[in-house]
Homo-oligomer: A and B are copies of this chain.
Amino acid sequence: MAKDKKEIKALIEKLKGLKTENMYLNDFFHTWKETDDEIAAVFTVAEILRGMRENNISTKVFDSGLGISVFRDNSTRTRFSFASACNLLGLEVQDLDEKLSQIAHGETVRETANMISFMADVIGIRDDMYIGKGHTYMKTVSEAVQEGYRDGVLEQRPTLVNLQCDIDHPTQSMADMLHVINYFGGVENLKGKKVAMTWAYSPSYGKPLSVPQGIIGLFTRFGMDVVLAHPEGYNVMSEVEEIAAENAKKSGGSYKRVNTMEEAFKDADIVYPKSWAPFAVMEERTKLVEEGKFDELKALEKRCLENNAKFKDWTCTEELMKTTKDGKALYMHCLPADISGVSCKEGEVDASVFDRYLVPLYKEASFKPYIIAAMIFLAKFSNPSGKLEEILEKGKKRIR
């Protein structure tokens, strides 16, 4: 199954045809800020790096250097994906754990950004908890290190990778899409495929919106028919819906919102049932946290959970799966899922459905480290195809 060197060479040739100049020394915030060529380049480099690793070729392009990870929310998966990506390229990960640091004692974001960047080549940030905060934080860090570089404080300008913000989750949506491309045998086979991004019930509260937003913002670029379904009140950001609609128009696909899981699943080729919090609730929560109103926060949580509970029938059952294309749509999830009868009493998906898709789900996740590595690679080399050719020719062994 692993790619051979000829296939890797073909991918490098493909990369040569893509315009990626603007990615050089730049950040990766939202997929919709990148051109089609740039998106294609990330997929291509990810496949090349994976192919090289499968062939025991070292892709360590940094002899030293740091990858800084800033996690303002816990995450095993993203943490390990970022660490893997950095290691693959030769960067050592250094975690900025805010609970361990002086940040809690009033350091400004701008100052800290410079203080951690003296030898940083890349900064990966996850900050998805509060609406209107995550992306803003990342922009502030980006500007701070840009100024630090301009002013001679930093010798290099570390590039940022958005590991999940309040708006988009590009490393997730792109890993998901690379999985889809592989599953359907090529990007050219995606036109006209129906994708159901749907809300699903979970006994927990306040899951970020960046996954559904990321999916509708990216998947609409491939000529697919993307359907978003959720109960009343569980809206995502309207700005992202507008982007999705525009994307669909340009790509010859479609985007629409429907009110039932049934309608979304009907004849779908891909289903992505997943819980999230209503945008309005997330906004209120952010406000309450800022104002330190923790009693009201508790009340909000209670109210939100009660509301969620009205929609326990929004769950991915075997019956629903039967209504999809040939009864065998590709089931997707960013993991971990709330599995009914396994990780919770009632959740997002039937255990039998989840189990049947275990291997595809793991494969879906396996693309993330390569997507992150590709984003870093394209931001760090002005001539990425040339550099990759050089690595391939040299053929230095990873395990010597």
Contacts and interface: CB of A to CB of B under 8 A. Distances in A.
Given A76-B96, A335-B111, A64 B366 contact: no
Interface string A79-97: 1110110011010111010
A59 B140 CA distance: 31
Contact of A77 (B108, B115, B343): B115
Interface centre among A58, A102, A365, A369 (most CB of B within 10 A): A102
Contacts of A58: 63-64
A245 interface: no
Nearest to A121: B399
A18 interface: no
A289 B389 CA distance: 56
* Copies of this chain, tallied across the complex: 3
B80 A336 contact: no
Given A115-B80, A119-B84, A62 B152 contact: no
A238 interface: no
A361 to B, nearest CB: 8
Contacts of A193: none
Contact of A88 (B61, B116, B119, B343): B119
Interface string A85-125: 00110101110100011110111100110111011010000
Interface string A369-399: 1000000000010000001000000001111
Contact of A359 (B53, B92, B153, B338): B153
A398 B2 contact: no
A155 B115 contact: no
Contacts of A90: 64
Contacts of A325: none
Interface centre among A60, A94, A103, A155 (most CB of B within 10 A): A155
A257 interface: no
Contact of A76 (B81, B116, B366, B397): B116
A66 interface: yes
A93 B111 CA distance: 23
Nearest to A103: B76
A232 B118 CA distance: 39
Nearest to A110: B358
Interface centre among A107, A112, A119 (most CB of B within 10 A): A119
A239 interface: no
Contacts of A369: 118-119
Given A75-B102, A108-B342, A114-B365, 8 more contacts: A54-B155, A63-B398, A64-B87, A76-B101, A76-B116, A77-B115, A83-B92, A121-B399
22 contacts: A58-B64, A59-B64, A60-B63, A63-B396, A63-B397, A63-B398, A75-B101, A75-B102, A76-B102, A76-B112, A76-B116, A87-B92, A105-B336, A106-B336, A106-B343, A106-B344, A108-B343, A118-B369, A119-B369, A151-B359, A152-B363, A153-B363
Q: What 7 A-B pairs come out closest when comparing CB atoms?
A: A76-B101, A84-B119, A58-B63, A106-B343, A153-B362, A151-B359, A107-B336
